[in-house]
Amino acid sequence: MLEGEIVIDKDEKLEAMTGAINRLAHDYNNFLAAVEGYTELILRETPSASQTASDLGEIKTVCDKMAALNKKLLSFARRKSPLTEEINLCELIDQNASYFSKKCQNHIFKVSKNDVFLKGSSDQITELISHLLENACLFSPEKSEIELGCSYEGKNPFLFVRDHGPGFPDNPVRFFYPYETTKSERLGLGLSCAYGIAMRHKAFFRIIKTSEHNEIRTVFEADNG
């Protein structure tokens, strides 16, 4: 029985964020590159066993973490459409089954799929699935079932992730905003990145709650290339 269904398509607040974050992230990346570059130059002139070298190593470690964070921000904010290739979602899921299964290592990972075709970037679609699985696992009881699959709504290809957690509260769109996170430590960017990838692929999210499970369905246009 269907209890609730919410569609998350282009959101005005999210669209405004993408432009601002895109500009800031590129500037941030330039400054970060300078810090990392000068740190590397000083390291070359510093005895490896010294305290200074150890301190500089800590700066490099932090720079790497900041670069990874910036990459996620750009993944959310990037507006350019991906290079398109013909993708069979069934084959993509099979090829990455081990990777996806590790994401769900504390749960029962189930795959339900058919041959489903769309155009886009296989790397980005893999990343999108990864973010959705990570979110599902975070809020589902251990040893509960996480299901990944793909099919069609009429002529529209879609992929889905189902879980048995509590589901989203009211107004779930806000959890796709950067730092408005479902994680208690407020470090989440996964759903924001998933949103950015979906928009670049001319897709939207359908959030479905039934008496048996919760589902985030990513629905692509019938001709999304």
Q: Is the pLDDT of residue 180 over 60?
A: no
**What is the model's pLDDT at position 150?**
95
Residues 190 and 135 sit within 8 Å (Cβ to Cβ): yes
The two beta strands, 203-210 and 214-220, are antiparallel
Per-position DSSP letters for the chain, written without gaps between them = -EEEEEEE---HHHHHHHHHHHHHHHHHHHHHHHHHHHHHHHHHTS-TTSHHHHHHHHHHHHHHHHHHHHHHHHHHH--SPPPPEEEEHHHHHHHTHHHHHHHTTTSEEEEEE---EEEE-HHHHHHHHHHHHHHHHHTSPTT-EEEEEEEEETTEEEEEEEE-S----SSGGGGGSTT--SSTTS---HHHHHHHHHHHTTEEEEEEEESS-EEEEEEE-TT--
Q: What average pLDDT does the chain have?
A: 82
**Which position has the token pair 């470090």?**
187
Q: Using an 8 Å Cβ cutoff, are 150 and 160 in contact?
A: yes
Query: pLDDT per residue over 133-155, tens digit each?
Result: 998 998 899 999 999 999 999 99
Determine the pLDDT at residue 2. 35
The pLDDT-based confidence of 156 (bands split at 50, 70, 90) is: very high
Instruction: Tell me if 164 sits within 8 A of 213, measured CB to CB.
Output: yes
Over 50: is that where the pLDDT of 186 sits?
Answer: no
| pLDDT in the model for residue 3 | 43
Query: What tens digit of pLDDT does each residue of 29-45 get?
Result: 788 888 988 898 898 88
Residue 134 to residue 100: CA distance in whole angstroms: 9
Q: What is the pTM of this model?
A: 0.67
Distance CA 194, CA 22 (A): 16
Amino acid at 46: T
Check whether 132 has a pLDDT greater than 80: yes
